[in-house]
Amino acid sequence: MFQRLLICTDFVDGLQRLVDFVPSLSESGIKQVVFLHVVSLSGDQAVPRADEKEINAARDRLSAAKTNVPEGVEVHIEVQVGQQIERILSTASTYKSDIILLGTQSRSLLTEKLFGSTTIALCNRAKIPLMVFRPQLLSTYTVEELDLRCRHLFRYFLIPYDGSKTAEYLVTQIKQRAQNRPPESLQECLLCWVIGEGGRRGVSDLINAEEAKKAEVALEAVKTDLAQLGLTTHHAVLHGERVLEILMAAQEYDISAITLSSDSIGKLVELSVPSFAGELLRRSWHPIIYFPQ
């Protein structure tokens, strides 16, 4: 599945805790881990400079990742100066990372548009998937819980599917990465098709019943496709508001992450028609793996 992680941390997102869990990450098939912290330039001087003390302190905090490294696993520490998004993209390219891990706070769409979002900007610019965590979640895990989370980082994916081009693209991306995955990596998938409610009672029920039948047929075809890759695949046809139903399904099933893709996230059109992927990124407490188009 994924074997080369770029873990970006600002030391308040909880991801800095993963320096103590490189052996656990290796259990999920990880072969390379890069820890990145970006130090901003100081703007209160005639010539902007980086704080050397801050750089050294960051390097010291991340150095624990290089202790007790399992055989066959590479660990790199990067403390860089500059603009965060550019440094993340550059480091991912240098190390040929195949996924970027980062934390993001829950925020409204309006706040995001006014003040910007590193995560949304990366969704639009990155060429590789992003795995997004809530800092509050990572901060509350005990050591034992975080160890287990690292071992099962990519074990069970929830895949929102509705037969659209975006859904087909998402499944294709997962299939490509599942072909040569380590045995400890992805094992199960849950396909969820959500049918919206609405319309007059009776007429709406008939339409929903027909849509449910079509959804079942489509989901069975995708299940068969994924099963050929050795994946245990389940499916569910749900009724209601799409974002809410996916979030509820994530609670009901023992998933590791919700997978997403989008062709509209972060664009101005979202102000009038919020994207499904954007809303899940802003509202989900489960980890999100976003596949950029």
Contact residues for 21 (Cβ-Cβ < 8 A; gap 6+): 146, 147, 150
Terminal-residue alpha carbon distance, the chain: 18
Burial pattern 118-138, b for ≥16 Cβ within 10 A else e, equals bbbbbbeebebbbbbbbbeeb
Contact residues for 141 (Cβ-Cβ < 8 A; gap 6+): 17, 149
Residue with tokens 């998004």: 85
Q: Which of 275, 293, 286, 290 is nearest to 112 (CA)?
A: 275
Contact residues for 163 (Cβ-Cβ < 8 A; gap 6+): 193, 215, 218
What confidence score (pLDDT) does residue 119 get? 86
**Mean pLDDT in runs of 10 for the chain (293 residues)?**
95 95 94 95 64 91 95 96 94 97 66 56 92 91 95 96 96 94 90 79 61 94 95 94 95 94 66 71 92 92
- Cα torsion 176, 178, 180, 181: sign: positive
Question: Which CATH code for domain 1-154?
Answer: 3.40.50.620
What confidence score (pLDDT) does residue 114 get? 35
- CATH topology for the 155-293 domain: Rossmann fold (3.40.50)
What confidence score (pLDDT) does residue 108 get? 46
What confidence score (pLDDT) does residue 267 get? 54
- Where, residue-wise, is CATH 3.40.50.620 in the chain? 1-154, 155-293
Give the integer Cα–Cα distance in Å for 119 and 131. Answer: 10
Give the integer Cα–Cα distance in Å for 158 and 182. Answer: 19
> How far is residue 263 from each of residues 166, 182, 291, measured CA to CA in Å?
7, 30, 10
Give the integer Cα–Cα distance in Å for 3 and 293. Answer: 21
Give the integer Cα–Cα distance in Å for 258 and 18. Answer: 20
Helix (H) or strand (E) holding 100: strand 99-103
